[in-house]
Chain A
Amino acid sequence: MSSDMYKEIILDYYKNPRNKGTLESPQSVARDSNPLCGDVVEMQLNFSDGKVSEIKFNGDGCAISQASASMLTEVVMGKTIEEVRKIDKNVLLENLGSPNLGAVRIKCALLPLKVMKTALYQYLGESITREESNSLS
């Protein structure tokens, strides 16, 4: 294996992205970019009965950011709002197979989570705290 970074999970989501695309009329949309790689990630969500009922991502960028976004949509799908709130950096990285990303590339993996959280809070009429935002960038 060439690197601890490109874990099988990451390569799988990169090569076969799940939930990539757009929703017809999403209840919440957020989008952000990462100035280092120029990665762009957009998340679109629908909710019903206090749960995530639909989610799609769209974007452009490196394998890490795009794989992370795709993986995250699968993790979030069907979860309650309270469960989604609890998804943090550690949960995300664990789900990616705990890749050894280093201080720079970790930003690529975290971007989709920040975007997804932003979309969630937007739906709830809240905004992301500075603390959480810092932990994700």
Chain B
Amino acid sequence: MLEPEIAAHPLDLEKIRLDFPILKRTVHGKRLVYLDNAATTQKPQQVIDAISDYYSNYNSNIHRSVHLLAEEATEAFENTRLKVQNFINAQSTDEIVFTKNATEALNVAARCTTSSLKPGDKIVVTEMDHHSNFVPWQQIAKEKRAQLEIVFTTEDYEIDESDLESKLDGAKIFAFTHMSNVLGTINNARKFTRIAHEKGALVVLDGAQSAPHIPVNVQDIGCDYFALSAHKMLGPTGVGCLYGKRDLLLKAPPFLLGGDMIREVHRDRTTWNDLPWKFEAGTSNIADVIAFAAALDYLTRLGMKNLQIHEQEICKAVLAELSKIEDLEIYGPKDPERRGAVFAFNLGGIHAHDIASILDAEGIAIRSGHHCAQILMEKLGVPATSRASFYLYNGYDDVDALSKGLHKVREVLN
């Protein structure tokens, strides 16, 4: 077992683990070591209970009916919006739109920012973006005959700043990831936003990986749009959020059309509902939005700063342990201060799926494949990687299990 390097560890792991029922189960007879948190995180009992509480006690549609159940459901639903506002420090609840995931949020942002794009206008993305923050821009660029520029990644797995500066010249939009789901790189969102704004570009920030792991303050960053996914931060699947600056959302066209997003419908014209409902057509995923509040409460109670410190300690331990394994290459920054606890790696010539299968037999869940980042894989010159990603319930015992498991992989396949 590895010993913690700091005496006063910010999180009480033993206590935290009791909140996650799934961590009690075994996998192939072994303790579950869940290291696929970048894909989705496990849920605490508080979130699971909130879902069943809604269905058991006040299930009803929101915003439309005047009976008590509808009132309770509407209040709980809107309460989550307030919690998201506070969690990322938006200026008002008008700026928080519920979607079904980060992908949908990014698609809405892409539609909002490109409605008046002209042929030849420039959209800038980066090589380290997830397909969710790449494909929408690529396709819109094709549709509008706009230009798509892809900013390079340096050998240190950071955004290439000089390339960024030059590609942002004359750009209308800069979309980039706050934290890479492959490299773990935490981008300097504040600085890059400032540069983009100086060049006159709008900024869309993909926070799917940052919001779960580091404190986020959208006003301080200054970004125009910010997307997150609830399921990657203890919440249920089927809920995402788009933050957009109020004046931008007011001007932007709605994304989906139909019920709930309207103010008045006439035979020949329709007017839109107020923000944020203009962007929430049809019945929302009420239960899961409500339960997301329990996840945000959980994170807030632990403190995002504490969580970040915890993950930096985990990063140090992982980097130290994995560097002892021969032929193991980590694709990502070596400095724990500049990265999150997600590690993409390859081990000699062993295929990522073989690594994942052998680790699975040891009870260790990791991801293998291209991680929805084929542009980045191409840049790294690998078809696939393995990826271990940690969260607040992972400890040194899990780092230890991963390291032992990887030694086992070598034993079996070498």
A residues near B (Cβ < 8 Å) are 2-6, 11, 14-15, 36-38, 60-64, 105, 108
Complex Cα distance, B408 from A3, in Å, reads 11
Return the chain B residue nearest A14 by Cβ: B413
The answer to whether the Cβ of B47 comes within 8 Å of any Cβ in the partner chain is no
B401 contacts the other chain (Cβ, under 8 Å)?
Answer: no
Most A CB atoms within 10 A — which of B354, B360, B412?
Answer: B354
CB neighbours of A64 from chain B (8 A):
353-354, 357
In the complex, the answer to whether B357 meets A5 with C-beta atoms within 8 Å is yes
Is the pair A37, B357 in contact by a Cβ cutoff of 8 Å? no
Given A11-B412, A14-B413, also A3-B351 (CB < 8 A): no
- Are B358 and A2 touching (Cβ within 8 A)? yes
Q: Are B383 and A6 in contact (CB under 8 A)?
A: no
- Given A38-B383, A62-B353, check contact A6 B413 (CB 8 Å): yes
Known: A2-B361, A11-B413, A36-B369. A62 touches B408 (CB 8 A): no
**A45 to B259 Cα, complex, angstroms:** 61
B-side contacts of A5, CB under 8 Å: 357-358, 361
Could you list 29 A-B pairs, sorted by A, with CB under 8 Å?
A2-B362, A2-B408, A3-B28, A3-B360, A3-B361, A3-B412, A5-B357, A6-B354, A6-B357, A6-B358, A6-B412, A11-B412, A11-B413, A37-B351, A37-B353, A37-B369, A38-B369, A60-B383, A61-B351, A62-B351, A62-B352, A62-B354, A63-B350, A63-B351, A63-B354, A63-B413, A64-B353, A105-B357, A108-B353
- B183 is an interface residue with CB less than 8 A from chain A: no
Number of chain B interface residues as a range: 10 to 19
Instruction: Say what secondary structure dominates the interface of chain B.
Output: helix
**A115 to nearest B CB, angstroms?**
18
Residues of chain B contacted by A38 (CB below 8 angstroms): 369-370, 383-384
Residues of chain A contacted by B370 (CB below 8 angstroms):
38
> Which B residues between 363 and 381 are near A, CB-CB below 8 angstroms?
369-370
Most interface-central of B28, B361, B369 (chain A CB within 10 A):
B361
**A19 CB, min distance to chain B CBs, angstroms:** 20
The docked-state distance in angstroms from the alpha carbon of A3 to that of B358 is 6
CA distance A3 to B370 in the complex (A): 24
CB distance from B327 to the nearest CB of A (A): 16
User: Which residues of the other chain, B, contact A3 by a CB distance below 8 angstroms?
Assistant: 28, 357-358, 360-361, 412
Q: Complex formed: what's the CA distance from A4 to B383 in Å? A: 26
C-alpha spacing A64/B350, complex, angstroms:
11
Which 5 pairs from chain A and chain B are nearest by CB?
Answer: A3-B361, A62-B351, A62-B353, A38-B383, A37-B353
Q: A2-B362, A105-B353 are in contact. List 19 more A-B contacts (CB 8 A).
A: A2-B361, A2-B408, A2-B412, A3-B361, A5-B357, A5-B358, A6-B354, A6-B358, A6-B412, A37-B351, A37-B352, A37-B384, A38-B384, A60-B383, A62-B353, A63-B350, A63-B354, A64-B357, A108-B353
B:310-359 near A, CB below 8 Å:
350-354, 357-358
State in angstroms the CA–CA spacing of A62 and B354 once bound together. 6
Closest Cβ neighbor of A101 among chain B residues? B357
Chain A residues with CB under 8 A of B411: 2
Give complex CA distance A48, B412 in Å.
40
Q: Name B76-114 residues within 8 Å CB distance of A.
A: none
Question: Which residues of chain A are near B354, meaning CB under 8 Å?
Answer: 6, 62-64
Give complex CA distance A62, B351 in Å. Answer: 5
A-contact bits for B370-414, CB 8 A (1 contact / 0 none): 100000000000011000000000000000000000001001110
Do the beta carbons of A36 and B413 come within 8 Å of each other? no
CA A64 – CA B369 in complex, angstroms?
A: 15
Closest A residue by C-beta to B409: A2
Complex interface: chain A residues within 8 A of B384 (CB):
37-38
